[in-house]
Structure 1
Amino acid sequence: MDGKVYGYARVSSKDQNLDRQLDALAEFGVEADMVFADKASGKDFDRPEYKLLVARLTEGDVVVVKSIDRLGRDYDEILEEWRSITKELKSAIVVLDMPLLDTREKPDGLTSVLIADIVLQLLSYVAQVERENIKQRQAEGIAAAQARGVRFGRPKKKRPACYEATKASYLGGHITRQEAADRMKVCVTTFDRWLKSDREEGADVV
């Protein structure tokens, strides 16, 4: 391909360093003024420098990244973006840490685009399986913890010492719900929840 060679680098936060990626791009031969770099999450492609890079791409250009996770974290979105760059824009992508992910035309006639697509599909499948395994392990861990009596979520607000007397006053019609809640320094919703819990547990109603 006889086009321009661009580099792309990314780290997730502002306090992380881009030097290692920039050095790898320079070693490959990417000029410093042809490198686009973001300090942003890889959860999607809504990144300012990446958008500028893609807007410049034309047929025959090459995008170089150090590793596939610098392009993004979500393999479904990577697949979509990969196809957009290689098939719609007809630019090439080179992933330095994985030589098989190189869609440039090879002098030996290797179908590099096909090979890269297969490798990327495999990586996407592995990532999806790992996501599902993580979810399953989390579900199993939660179930095991619940079986041991571990409770999740925010701890329930403790009822104040004046709760029983306040409840009796409310049920006796001497104060309103709002006044009862104000007396215990809680919101009305919390007071209602306590009353409902008492009824469900069969507590004595005064």
Structure 2
Amino acid sequence: MRVFGYARVSTSQQSLDVQIKALKAEGVEDHRLFTDKATGSNTERSGLDALRNKIEKGDLILVKKLDRLGRDTADMVQLIKEFDQQGVAVRFLDDGISTEGAMGRMVVTILAAVAEAERARILERTNEGRLEAKNKGIQFGRKPHIDREKLKALHQAGKGATEIAKEMGIGRSTVYKLLN
């Protein structure tokens, strides 16, 4: 039985170090360690594809946490079925579960559904917080681009800094800064 490892983070700014360290501690060798820095919302990932090409019947794939393999329940179930059909087991280290045996596959399916529901609740709470912040007047996103040509034209037309600031929706100090 060969042991492979798979680690994933959602963005390039996140680190794989904690997952890789845990997988190596379980005996995964560097050449059998596959990683992705991509969303788990689809199964088309270069590291996962490379892993799929390497595994053979009797192999074991170690993953630190359930949600590192995938985020969507349907995709997780499909991946687990795919690995199972190839005779490959998947073990999730932090969750203490494995797809070895029928009971293990059932538990993984249930946990994937629970994880998806939790992510939906987190997203719902985040959106509620954003709406509440917007209602309180908090603005999100980048600051609006200031049309410097318009600002100069208003100044040349004889308008003062206060009047320009009101018309353009910017601070008076910004008007002075841009005019200098």
TM-score (structure 2 length as normaliser): 0.64
Give the 5 Å matches for 1:1-206. 3-86=1-84, 88-99=85-96, 101-104=97-100, 113-127=101-115, 129-130=117-118
Amino acid paired to 2:105: D
* Aligned alpha-carbon RMSD (Å): 2.8
User: How far does residue 123 in structure 1 lie from its aligned partner after superposition?
Assistant: 1.8
The higher-RCO structure (CA 8 Å, 6+ apart) is 2
Distance in 1 of aligned mates of 2:126 and 2:5: 38
SS in 2 for 1:7: strand
Distance in 2 of aligned mates of 1:26 and 1:138: 35
Aligned length: 134
TM-score (structure 1 length as normaliser): 0.56
Report sequence identity in percent. Answer: 36
**Gap runs ≥5 in structure 1:** 105-112, 142-149, 151-206
**Gap runs ≥5 in structure 2:** 130-134, 136-180
Amino acid paired to 2:89: A
Distance in 1 of aligned mates of 2:127 and 2:16: 36
User: How far does residue 124 in structure 1 lie from its aligned partner after superposition?
Assistant: 3.6
Distance in 1 of aligned mates of 2:37 and 2:13: 9
Distance in 1 of aligned mates of 2:81 and 2:118: 23
What per-residue deviation string (whole Å, max 9, x for no partner) do you get for residues 34-61 of structure 1? 1011111111111011101011111001
Amino acid paired to 1:27: A
Query: In the alignment, what sits opposite 1:161?
Result: none
